[in-house]
Amino acid sequence: MSFQEPIHDVAQLASVELFTPEFEESLWFFHDVLGMTATEDDGKSCYLRAFEDPYHHSLKLTRAPHAGIGIIGWRASSPQALDRRVAAIDASDNPGKWVENNTGYGRAYEFSTPSGQKQHLFWDVDYFKPTEEQKSKLLSRAQKRPLRGIPVRRIDHVNLLCKDVTRDSDFMMEKLGFRKRENVVLGGDELASWLSVSALVHEVAFTKDNAGPGNRLHHLAFWFGNSGQMLDLADITRDYGLKLEAGPGKHGVSQGYFMYIIEPGGNRIELFGDVGYLIFDPDWKTRTWDESNFMDGGAVWFGGDLPQDFFVYGTPIVEAAMEENAASEAEPAE
């Protein structure tokens, strides 16, 4: 029996860049509402991190004309692991290049998914250095829990809209060692997949972009570790006029407690309450949801249905698709 030797060369999701046309309002959301700590602002981007994120930043918030996603940063498991993955991608028909002078991490290998989503893989990182005031007595905590908003503990995952879920998933599995934990196949078409390099169900997910050109953000997720905090945040979103799109509820896929907020710049942010379930089985087989069960527990296990916008909206926003969606929702049911 042949068994594919697993690749353990990518360690974790380290950072994601978001574009925002409403910079000050977005910064208020991440800093004041989600309690993230700003570490640097170079005039183009502000760098922020959750209080247990260990590095210089986990979010790069960039001033831009439109909402959307920039570069996704992954930390390799070792310098040797980085070299192995670079060799694998260099040998493919979609090679990358080395880029220097990055903020928060050292030399990085820049490459794209087949759909064109830019990513960086690196080993050298700048660790966050708390001030005396910020230092926690907990030796495992990168800084004290902030006294702002409902502070998130760490970055969790990113969900990308793409034109070909299978092609992008295969690339992440074959070149980087991701494992496909769950997916959705409807009518023989793979519409979504959840992939991870760790015991988490996913650090990245791909969703078919039925409403746009692909290479868009569906959502970026941060983790609380305590689903009760989502109720506090839901209360705050109502008081401060933020758009609470869905939740709090529980997904069947990943078993995560979710809540989706549209931040002021337009990007969808998921707040993840707990870890869902963890996978330690080295021979885990992809769990496939289909017509018989996805809308009966896969999408939402409990907590109310996801709105139609959830399956159409992403950033950059495709206005025509949103107008079409609004028109179809306004039509009387037959």
Nearer to Fe ion, 89 or 150 (CB): 150
- Comparing C-alpha atoms, which of 182, 158, 180 is closest to residue 167? 180
Q: Which stretch binds Fe ion (CB under 5 A): 63-71, 100-108, 110-118, 151-159?
A: 151-159
Q: Is 9 in the site for Fe ion (CB under 5 A)?
A: no
Q: Give the three-state DSSP class for 259.
A: strand
Nearer to Fe ion, 159 or 183 (CB): 159
Report the site for Fe ion in 255-274 (rule: CB under 5 A).
270
DSSP 8-state assignment for residue 5: P
Cβ 278 to Fe ion shortest distance, Å: 16
Report the alpha-carbon distance of residue 111 to residue 212 in Å, rounded. Answer: 22
**Token pair recorded at residue 162:** 């793409």
Nearer to Fe ion, 10 or 299 (CB): 299
Cβ 89 to Fe ion shortest distance, Å: 26
Nearer to Fe ion, 105 or 257 (CB): 257
Q: Which amino acid is at 238?
A: R
Total number of residues that touch Fe ion (CB under 5 A): 3
Integer angstrom CA distances of residue 258 from 101, 139, 233: 36, 29, 12
Cβ 98 to Fe ion shortest distance, Å: 31
Cβ 257 to Fe ion shortest distance, Å: 11
Report the alpha-carbon distance of residue 35 to residue 27 in Å, rounded. Answer: 10
Nearer to Fe ion, 10 or 221 (CB): 221
118-122 vs 68-76, strand pairing mode:
parallel
Nearer to Fe ion, 211 or 221 (CB): 221
Distance of CA 171 to the CA centre of its chain: 18
Cβ 330 to Fe ion shortest distance, Å: 28
**Token pair recorded at residue 304:** 């109310």
Nearer to Fe ion, 33 or 221 (CB): 221
CB atoms within 10 A of CB 243: 12
C-alpha torsion 51→54→57→58, nearest 10: -80
Nearer to Fe ion, 123 or 222 (CB): 222
Report the alpha-carbon distance of residue 74 to residue 320 in Å, rounded. Answer: 33
Write the DSSP string, 160-220.
EEES-HHHHHHHHHHHH--EEEEEEEETTEEEEEEEESSSSS-SEEEEE-SSS-S-EEEEE
**Token pair recorded at residue 130:** 């708390």
Report the site for Fe ion in 207-226 (rule: CB under 5 A).
221
Q: Is the bond into 316 cis (omega within 30 degrees of 0)?
A: yes
Nearer to Fe ion, 245 or 270 (CB): 270
Report the alpha-carbon distance of residue 197 to residue 209 in Å, rounded. Answer: 24
Cβ 159 to Fe ion shortest distance, Å: 5
Using CB under 5 A as the criterion, which residues of the chain lie in contact with Fe ion when the complex forms?
Answer: 159, 221, 270
